Amino acid sequence: MPMQIGLEDLLGMLVSRVEEMGLDMDNQKSRFNIMFRMLYKKGLFTDKDALDAIKEENKILLELGLIKAMPDDKTLQAAADNLMLWIKGDAKEIKRSIEELQKRIQEEQEKQNKPRIDVAPAGVLNELDRATNKNKKIIL
């Protein structure tokens, strides 16, 4: 006998599962951060090792066709520096970096808030033309 379930119940189950997955990802991220901090403090890898690993990862992604071009050295170095901030646990620098990123995002959003040009449907423009003047077209 088939089981029936309401849409609301189904959505509730899906939302619950997504929340569980989010918590699991946060838990895994925290565990990886802890493990990498321990390894770094024991001297098992360096900042250069992180940069080399990021370069290798991008090379593999490029060969697989998952990225179109290899990032430049400045971008790779920035990624390595960001990774090492987390591994070193430099909270002040992480906070400064986040604030800088938020500032750049805000600046980009302001750049994109340019005046818009709205286009009226042809029927509306034709009605305006008839109402005003039959020889001239209106462009607003």
* 27, part of any domain: yes
The pLDDT, as a whole number, for residue 51 is 96
Q: Which range marks the domain in which residue 28 is found?
A: 8-44
Question: Does 137 have pLDDT greater than 60?
Answer: no
Note whether 39 and 23 are same-domain residues.
yes
Give the range with max mean pLDDT: 20-24, 26-30, 45-49, 110-114: 45-49
Q: Are 97 and 83 in contact (CB under 8 A)?
A: no
9 or 1: which leads in pLDDT: 9
Note whether 36 and 57 are same-domain residues.
no
Note whether 17 and 40 are same-domain residues.
yes
Note whether 39 and 51 are same-domain residues.
no
* 13, part of any domain: yes
Note whether 71 and 96 are same-domain residues.
yes
Note whether 30 and 54 are same-domain residues.
no
Give the tens place of pLDDT for each residue, 40-99: 999 999 999 999 999 999 999 999 999 999 999 999 999 999 899 989 988 999 899 889
Q: What is the rounded CA–CA span in Å between residue 31 and residue 39?
A: 12
From 12-26, 59-73, 101-115, the region with the lowest mean pLDDT: 101-115
Note whether 49 and 103 are same-domain residues.
yes
DSSP state of 46: -
The pTM for the full model equals: 0.58
Note whether 35 and 56 are same-domain residues.
no
Q: What is the rounded CA–CA span in Å between residue 111 and residue 107?
A: 6
